[in-house]
């Protein structure tokens, strides 16, 4: 295995989210994620959540022209029951994932996914669903070239 990617066994992690459907176009995806994150953040402020974790986006469904995504924030297990209205709670799955850290602009995330897919194909690794991105820092406080995104892809 190369040092760009690592296979890990992960445990479930609870998160709050809003689900969005959008085109696979980068700008449309970013708009959908930002709107969903804004909605979840407003809800957590209204409900006085104390322990919000990193922002994330989870991808369960890909079709040639559209995708269904969930965007939100990691929360504590105790806060799962606070989900209501259009704000839902779920957990990331337990199991094996292929992980990578993408450094730089969100606009180039597709390049990292393409590289990961090529690596999985060359190693005979089967992709499962879902995949998710954890945004380790914020574009509000971090220069674009220093953004770090952890990508996890479920594998068989």
Domain ranges of the chain: 6-155
Q: Give the pairing type, strands 127-135 and 148-155.
A: antiparallel
- Domain 6-155 bears CATH identifier 3.20.80.10: yes
At residue 57's C-alpha, the angle toward residues 56 and 60, to 5°, is 140
95 touches 36 (CB < 8 A): no
The pLDDT score that the predictor gives to residue 50 is 85
pLDDT tens track for 49-86: 988 999 999 998 777 789 999 999 999 999 999 999 89
- C-alpha span between 7 and 96 (Å, rounded): 7
Buried-exposed string 31-67: b where 16+ CB fall within 10 A, e elsewhere: ebbeebbebbbebbeeeebeebebbbbbbeeeeeeeb
pLDDT tens track for 75-132: 999 999 999 989 999 999 999 999 999 999 998 998 999 999 999 999 999 999 899 9
**What's the predicted TM-score (pTM) here?**
0.92
């Amino acid at each position: 295995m190369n040092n760009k990617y690592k296979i890990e066994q992960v445990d479930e992690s609870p998160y709050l989210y809003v689900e969005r459907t959008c085109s696979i176009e980068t700008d449309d995806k970013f708009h959908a994620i930002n709107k969903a994150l804004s909605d979840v953040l407003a809800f957590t402020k209204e409900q006085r959540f104390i322990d919000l974790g990193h922002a994330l986006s989870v991808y369960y469904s890909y079709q040639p022209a559209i995708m269904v995504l969930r965007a939100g924030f990691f929360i504590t297990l105790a806060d799962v029951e606070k989900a209501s209205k259009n704000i839902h709670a779920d957990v990331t799955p337990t199991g094996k994932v292929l992980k990578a850290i993408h450094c730089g602009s969100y606009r180039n995330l597709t390049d990292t996914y393409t590289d990961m897919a090529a690596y999985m194909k060359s190693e005979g690794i089967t992709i499962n669903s879902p995949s998710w991105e954890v945004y380790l820092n914020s574009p509000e406080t971090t220069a674009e070239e220093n953004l770090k995104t952890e990508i996890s892809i479920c594998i068989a």
